[in-house]
Chain A
Amino acid sequence: MIIRFCLTCIFLSAIFLTEAQGEQFLKQASVEEAQGAWYKAGISYDRVLFCQENQEQVIIAVSGKLRCLKKQQQFREAGKFIKENYQLIDSDSIRYRLYEQWILCAYLSDQQEEAISLADQALLLYPQYCNQQWLLYFKILCLNELNEWTMAQQNYKQWLAGYKIDSAEAIIYEKLPVLKNENKAAWLSTVLPGGGQWYAGKPLEAMTSILIQGLGIYYGIVSFETKYYLSAWLVGGGVFGSFHFGSVRRAEELVRQYNKKKAASFNSTLRQKISDQMNQHL
């Protein structure tokens, strides 16, 4: 009799514990989230997903965990989390929402190509739920970051048409930043010491380069005239040669930095303009 009673107790307590766990963890997660303990809250949401008691809890847990990861600026991990868990969701409309978050996280973690690919997938998989304008908006931002301005412009025109805005607005893409040529900088530095640096917009570095290479040549000539032939070739020539070749490489690097800065500044202006337009139409 006692054993039977014990077994009944155990059975009931086990049922009680398992049934209530998902709900308990959700409550715990929301308390932790409200306290700003994102990491802890994330684990509690993971517990809900581990229990997987009902679809409603799963949806709340997935979005909660995602929120926690985003709050911790872990966008790459957030993308990975969506990839691992979006199939737990049955509803296509919610899956599409997750895709949007996935795209956003890919963009914020500097995975522009991934974001573009995800936007295309979303368009194909959930045509009835997808917000084409929103997807286009992110594709444009990503293409800008990749410096694919021609393609970005085409998408931008399509986006403008979606909001019935005059395509003349796309004129912002007509004034593309003039990027400098790395090969040209290298060639200039080869022919004229300091020329590449000057071309890259660094006159002070150009002057320094000219000065050091000039000193090498001067030392070589003076040594040669005083019949220090080995010194002339090995020291004068050595100093000139090593700084000359170094200067060629440096010129290429400076042009790379210049181009990066120019593109970043142009993209920032574009981002601002397109985001403002987006906000107006939301």
Chain B
Amino acid sequence: MWPLFFCSVHAQQFNFTKEIKFVRYLQEKEQFSEAEAVLNNVDTVLLNPAQKDSLYFEKGWFAYSRKQLDTAARFLEKVSEQDRRFLKAAFFAQYCNTFQKRFQEARSGFSLIPVTDSIQQELKNFQLAGLSLLQRDTIAYRGYRKGFGYSNYVMLKEEHSFEQYYTELLAIKQRSPAVAGILSAVVPGLGKVYAGKKKQGLGAFFPVVTAGLLTWEAYNRGGIKDARFWIYGTLFTTFYIGNIWGSVSAVSIRNQELNRSYDNKILFNMHIPLRNFFN
């Protein structure tokens, strides 16, 4: 009875290992949909805890490589500490959460990762510093950067980059939508120039001025009762108000773009040390 039991356990383990190898084989052949189907068909009830960890890691890593970050985070977080790839899974899971702007979840996730040596601790600090920069929490950032060693090749360049972003973010003056609106009310299109969109400013200036000139001509020639005055006047008013509204939006968009460009740079720099460290 016992030998048969052992045989069956071994056979199951053997099959599972082969199944995972088969998934990797499909991935190498770029048959991603088939690989996903095979992974999803593995029956977790029959697996032992170590195999379950393996399966979660594979599913998470597969989703991560397919840029399905939500699924990736969900599975990578399930990998238990007993698995040899636990640290990798934990860091990447929290990176996926960070990328999806789940900052609170990522912060507590990163904080809970148990580290055993100074490099791992520095990597953890680095990730938390990046997270603080993304949240524009400069006080927290200053706290975490104390853990930067500026000596490990894994994150040396990125630590310097974070310092640079930190300085730049402090120096940035966010432009005011109200100022843009007022400027555009005085000179059509000027608010867009203020928002850093010179061509759009010119593009807004000409239609408003043209409609204004047509209205003025209609008023001059036919007076207030002239139908043309009302038609062109309506057109002018629409363009004029639209131009003010557009300038207010342009400043908000410009601020968002600037923030997004820094967010992308920070996320990129958070990712490189993870790849360096775990590959």
A residues within 8 Å of B by Cβ? 2, 5-6, 9-10, 13-14, 17, 39, 42-43, 46-47, 50, 80, 84, 226-231, 234-235
Q: Name the one of A10, A43, A231 contacting B217, with C-beta atoms under 8 angstroms.
A: A231
Contact status B214-A2, CB under 8 Å: no
User: What is the predominant secondary structure among interface residues of chain A facing chain B?
Assistant: helix
Q: Min CB distance, A104 to chain B, in Å?
A: 21
CA distance A142 to B34 in the complex (A): 31
Q: Min CB distance, B43 to chain A, in Å?
A: 16
User: What is the predominant secondary structure among interface residues of chain B facing chain A?
Assistant: helix
CA distance A43 to B10 in the complex (A): 24
Contact status B218-A10, CB under 8 Å: no
Contact status A234-B14, CB under 8 Å: no
Contact status B228-A10, CB under 8 Å: no
Contact status B11-A6, CB under 8 Å: no
Residues on B with C-beta less than 8 A from A227 are 221
State whether A10 and B37 are in contact (beta carbons under 8 Å apart), knowing that A46-B31, A50-B22, A234-B213 are contacts in the complex: no
Contact status B10-A228, CB under 8 Å: no
Q: Name the one of B11, B25, B30, B228 contacting A13, with C-beta atoms under 8 angstroms.
A: B11
Could you say which interface size class chain B belongs to? 20 to 34
List 27 A–B pairs whose Cβ atoms lie within 8 Å, in order of A's numbering.
A2-B2, A2-B3, A6-B2, A9-B3, A9-B6, A14-B10, A14-B11, A17-B14, A17-B15, A46-B22, A46-B25, A46-B26, A46-B31, A46-B34, A47-B22, A50-B22, A84-B29, A228-B218, A228-B221, A228-B228, A230-B217, A231-B217, A231-B228, A234-B210, A234-B213, A234-B214, A235-B214
**Is B4's CB within 8 Å of the partner chain A?**
yes
Q: Min CB distance, A265 to chain B, in Å?
A: 37
Q: A14-B11, A84-B29, A230-B217 are in contact. List 18 more A-B contacts (CB 8 A).
A: A6-B2, A6-B3, A9-B4, A10-B6, A13-B11, A14-B10, A14-B14, A17-B14, A43-B38, A46-B26, A226-B221, A227-B221, A228-B217, A230-B213, A230-B214, A231-B214, A231-B217, A231-B228
CA distance A13 to B30 in the complex (A): 32
**Is B7's CB within 8 Å of the partner chain A?**
yes
Nearest B residue to A13 via CB reads B7
Residues on A with C-beta less than 8 A from B217 are 228-231
CA distance A226 to B30 in the complex (A): 72
B residues within 8 Å of A by Cβ? 2-4, 6-7, 10-11, 14-15, 21-22, 25-26, 29-31, 34, 37-38, 210, 213-214, 217-218, 221, 228, 232
CA distance A29 to B210 in the complex (A): 72
Q: Min CB distance, B7 to chain A, in Å?
A: 5
Contact status A10-B7, CB under 8 Å: yes
CA distance A227 to B213 in the complex (A): 14
Q: Min CB distance, B70 to chain A, in Å?
A: 25
Contact status B11-A50, CB under 8 Å: no
State whether A13 and B10 are in contact (beta carbons under 8 Å apart), knowing that A47-B22, A228-B228 are contacts in the complex: yes
Q: Min CB distance, B192 to chain A, in Å?
A: 22
Q: Min CB distance, A118 to chain B, in Å?
A: 20
Residues on A with C-beta less than 8 A from B15 are 17
Q: Min CB distance, B205 to chain A, in Å?
A: 15
Nearest B residue to A229 via CB reads B217
Residues on A with C-beta less than 8 A from B2 are 2, 6
